[in-house]
Structure 1
């Protein structure tokens, strides 16, 4: 939108029509002089609009750098979280491998004893031949054959147990090796993610400095063109940006309200349709009862297909949203509010500095619930809800797409469309409108 440049036009017009002496004090501007004044005014207006466009582009570049930094910082948190999970899996696999090795050692010892016993007692055939030579005769031979068969069965069982234990030990060792490799890969990924986050944060800080310097020069030009002081130009620009942000927030809030109303309407219509179908089905069953398949007296046999007890009717109402733990949500909000004013530092989780998921993790830890230091995992470990179901203590997320894996920012809902969060580098923990920025697209209850 072109700014009004009446003042500039008047200045230009006076400049071209100013009297050179008292003789032409009542000089009437010619048509060409008026056109020239209008041309200069238009040129000045174009400069004003152009400068404003440059300021808008500078703000947009700063916003893009800020989002990139948040995405990189949460990607690092995710890499660290996966590394922790991989190391945990490695410890579990290593312990399982050690247990399998100990079991194998026991079974191996039993198997070795069985082999030695087999060599000492000799083969079943030799035992039978020796028994025939004994004074006990055939009866003793049969006893010896039976004993030999028992020994052989025990030998086979111990051999089978050994082979099974050996196989399990080998599998456990391979699993431990795989877990170790995965942990090493996760560590490497975390290192790369850390480098990326550091680079993105440095780029965002550099962009902030560059944009601040650029806006200062542009505002100086704007002040000269509009004939006002630099301070006034800065105040007007801040007010203009605040007005735009409020308009965006209002539009986002209205859109969210419309979407929630549409969702509730659809749910109500679905419930009414289901209730209507059940009512029609019940009427059909009452009008056309099932045929009697036996000879028993109908008056003595209760009809199990229908009931007049309303408690047996299926529940057609929407189940209420699961409430947060008693006192837990209030404690989480109180903790987060106590951190307001503390600085944002990427990957920080307190006690004096925070990033977005570090703050929500700390808040819910104060409420007695453990959450990971990673916004994507916080959403995955919580119960998704709609924006219309938000209660204080719930989590509000921003993602770059409709896929939860794209989440890169999280805040704690404080009620009345307000959130408490650690916004980004250069901004402290604050409480502000949920729609202060781009609209959130994920909501969940821990």
Structure 2
């Protein structure tokens, strides 16, 4: 305001001086070159203030986005730790079942071996070598008794071997079960620590959001003062600029993805012949004629991208379920019925569509079929990751067509339908 008033004063004095024919350089009412230069500097300073305020708004938005990303990463890390803990518990339960079965087998083999010992003891007087000869009635009887004695000894040895083998198997099963229990206990501790980290990240994100919102409100007010407009108009203008910038960034990201997926173009034929034609005809043909007709070789065509599976019949049911949750609050780690996080919502939606998905975005991608952006169909999943590695995925949403998604975005923002480019462009896509 002061800069504009100074400029107006300088210009008014200039006009007044010219109209009155005043030319004296030492007249106090005539602005000097220094006065004009100072006025122009003030105007530029005012413009710099507007640019500075807008730059600070951009920085504030970046801080808000980064804080939300950190919170989302922590929340999905908790979901991942919880999922791994569930798997570890299942592995421990199966290992214990193996121990139970192995110990039951050991008991059966022990009884069988004990029975064979008792039987051998009872038959021992009549099956000794001396008894077989003394009580035999000829060579045939001796042979029969000897064979019977050998069979009894073989059976006893076989039962013992089976008993020992069952005991070894039981020992291995117990070792495996112990390791599985140890892994499950560690996974439980990891999940608990991940839960604490997620809570700290969520609290920090909420605090950041409050502070940044207050900072942005102050900056918008300052911008309105500098531009001599209402705060409401300044807010709407800023929102329009931010939306335009987000669309431009998303379009650039999509274009970059498409360029990465496009196959290399085949080489084009040259327009000029490789050699100059000769003026004199040659006496001999340059190539012997062949009996087979010649055909031009077909140009090589690039291999088509892998065919994505057809969308499942449950896609519309998944979309209908997700749409019914719009307006319900976001809460990290939640999977309904009245609150959701990102992977909880997509898991619940596809459960309604008849397909199981883990409550963990990375596992949802791994258990689905990766597709390209051009293959997206309603019901597919779109993912955000911090790198080209699927292990970096921290957010997932349900695609509903027309470039739009249904998502559970972050703390303080309920389940909503939105453009999938409203934040940043996703970088992974998959079909359950």
Residue by residue over 1:75-112, the C-alpha shift from the partner in whole angstroms, topping out at 9 and shown as x without a partner, is 11111111111111111111111011111101111112
Indicate yes or no: 2:392 matched with 1:406.
yes
Q: 1:30 aligns with which of 23, 29, 32?
A: 32
Paired residue for 1:423, among 406, 409, 420? 409
Query: What secondary structure does 1:432 align onto?
Result: strand
How far residue 373 of structure 1 moved from its aligned partner, in angstroms, is 0.6
Deviation per residue, 1:271-306 (Å, 9 max, x gap): xxxxxxxxxxxxxxx97xxxxxxxxxxxxxxxxxxx
Mapped pair 1:438 → 2:427:
no
Q: Check 1:319–1:397 CA distance in 2 against 1; reply closer, same or farther (3 A cut).
A: closer
Using the TM superposition, give the Cα deviation of residue 141 of structure 1 relative to its aligned residue in structure 2, in angstroms: 3.4
The RMSD of aligned alpha carbons is 2.8
Aligned residue in 2 for 1:168: 169
Contact 2:17 2:30 in 1 (8 A): no
Q: What do residues 144-167 of structure 1 show as CA deviations (whole Å, max 9, x unaligned)?
A: 221110101101110111011111
CA distance in 2, matches of 1:257, 1:318: 12
The DSSP-based 3-state class of the residue aligned with 2:396 is: strand
Residue of structure 2 in register with 1:86 after alignment: 88
**2-structure distance, mates of 1:348, 1:320:** 34
1:14 aligns with 2:8: yes
Residue 179 of structure 2 corresponds to residue 178 of structure 1: yes
Alpha-carbon distance, 1:222 to partner: 2.7
Corresponding residue of 1:304: none
Q: TM-score, normalised by structure 1?
A: 0.80
Corresponding residue number in structure 1 for 2:234? 233
Using the TM superposition, give the Cα deviation of residue 16 of structure 1 relative to its aligned residue in structure 2, in angstroms: 5.3
The residue number in structure 2 matching 1:69 is: 71
Query: Helix, strand or coil: the match of 2:184?
Result: helix
CA–CA distance in structure 2, aligned partners of residues 230 and 434 of structure 1 = 29
Match 2:376 to one of 362, 365, 390 = 390
Deviations 1:32-65 (A, max 9, x none): 2111111222223333222222221111111101
Aligned to 1:204, what secondary structure does the other structure show?
helix
Distance 2:218 2:98 in 1: 66
Q: Is the 8 A contact 1:8 1:44 kept in 2?
A: no
Residues 1:129 and 1:250: Cα distance change in structure 2 (over 3 Å):
closer
Q: How many residues end up aligned between the 2 structures?
A: 389
Q: Residue 8 of structure 1 contacts residue 225 of structure 1 at CA under 8 Å; is this kept in 2? A: no
- 1:369 aligns with 355
Shift of residue 68, structure 1, vs aligned partner: 0.6
Cα distance, 1:385–1:8 mapped onto 2, change above 3 Å: farther
Runs of at least 5 residues in structure 2 that lack an aligned partner in the other structure: 21-28, 268-290, 293-302
Report 1:129-144 matches (<5 A).
129-134=130-135, 136=137, 138-144=139-145
Instruction: For 2:131 and 2:323, locate their aligned partners in 1 and report how far apart those are by CA, in whole Å.
Output: 92
Q: What is the CA-CA distance between 1:192 and the residue it aligns to?
A: 0.9
